[in-house]
């Protein structure tokens, strides 16, 4: 918006191109390394996608600018959640735990709607749900997150394209860097013994950087 002079809606739409390609590359890398369990995560994949499609349709008709003020304070809340008792973020996936559908379906729909509507910060919120509530490891949660985002962003890009909202030149330029980075990072995360530790540290850095940008940028 600020550098290229795109409208809020066009910026939101253009940003989805890189998001789509990096999510496809990252989820493919995790799947190859056996870190993406589609069967165990199919409910999250399906209902998050449903929520996201609704969010995309709503985003075309309603500006999300007003929400950005609220988003700043949500990120501070997320930082507190991430920093309190960090051991919760370093555990392995509890394969015997199955979250009740009374929780998993509405949570998936809600986070999907948010991702489809604005995308900004969706990954952080999704990881909080998957790690702290669904009891996935941080690495496995990232794999599911990328797969979910890849699926619904393909649909989002199609919708935005037919609405004429995507600046494809800039969107594809961003996509090149994002895709390469996502693929190699996912490969590293899938095979490193300290992947959860580094993923948690990077998550803290990303959220702090977002807060600084939102309040002082």
Q: Contact at 8 Å (CB) between 71 and 120? A: yes
**Full-model pTM:** 0.85
pLDDT at residue 2 greater than cutoff 60: no
DSSP class of 163: T
Looking at every residue in the chain, the average pLDDT score rounds to 87
Q: Contact at 8 Å (CB) between 143 and 35? A: yes
pLDDT at 59: 79
How is the chain split into domains, by residue range?
8-216
Higher-pLDDT residue of 2, 114: 114
Q: Can you tell me the distance from the alpha carbon of 201 to that of 83, in angstroms, rounded to the nearest whole number?
A: 10
Of the chain, the percentage scoring pLDDT greater than 70 comes to 94
Q: Can you tell me the distance from the alpha carbon of 162 to that of 142, in angstroms, rounded to the nearest whole number?
A: 30
Among 144, 164, 158, which residue's Cα sits nearest to residue 23?
Answer: 144
What pLDDT, in 10s, does the model give residues 72-128?
788 888 888 888 888 888 889 998 898 999 999 999 999 999 888 877 788 888 999
Higher-pLDDT residue of 204, 120: 204
Locate tokens 């989002």: which residue? 156
Among 143, 136, 178, 198, which residue's Cα sits nearest to residue 33?
Answer: 143
pLDDT at 1: 53
pLDDT band at 67 (very low <50, low <70, confident <90, very high): low
């Amino acid at each position: 918006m600020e550098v290229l002079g795109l409208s809020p809606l066009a910026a939101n739409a253009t940003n989805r191109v890189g998001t789509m390609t990096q999510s496809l590359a990252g989820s493919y890398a995790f799947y190859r390394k056996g870190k993406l369990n589609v069967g165990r995560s199919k409910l999250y994949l399906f209902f998050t996608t449903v929520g996201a499609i609704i969010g995309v349709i709503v985003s075309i008709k309603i500006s999300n600018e007003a929400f950005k003020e609220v988003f700043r304070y949500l990120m501070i809340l997320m930082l507190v959640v991430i920093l309190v008792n960090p051991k919760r973020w370093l555990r392995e996936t509890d394969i015997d735990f199955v979250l009740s559908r009374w929780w998993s379906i509405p949570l998936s729909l809600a986070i999907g709607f948010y991702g489809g509507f604005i995308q900004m910060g969706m990954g952080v919120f999704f990881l909080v749900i998957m790690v702290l509530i669904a009891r996935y490891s941080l690495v496995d949660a990232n794999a599911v997150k990328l797969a979910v985002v890849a699926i619904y962003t393909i649909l989002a890009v199609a919708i935005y394209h037919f609405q004429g909202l995507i600046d494809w030149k800039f969107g594809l330029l961003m996509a090149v860097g994002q895709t390469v980075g996502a693929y190699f990072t996912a490969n590293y995360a899938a095979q490193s013994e300290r992947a959860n530790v580094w993923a948690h540290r990077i998550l803290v850095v990303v959220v702090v950087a977002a807060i600084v940008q939102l309040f002082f940028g």
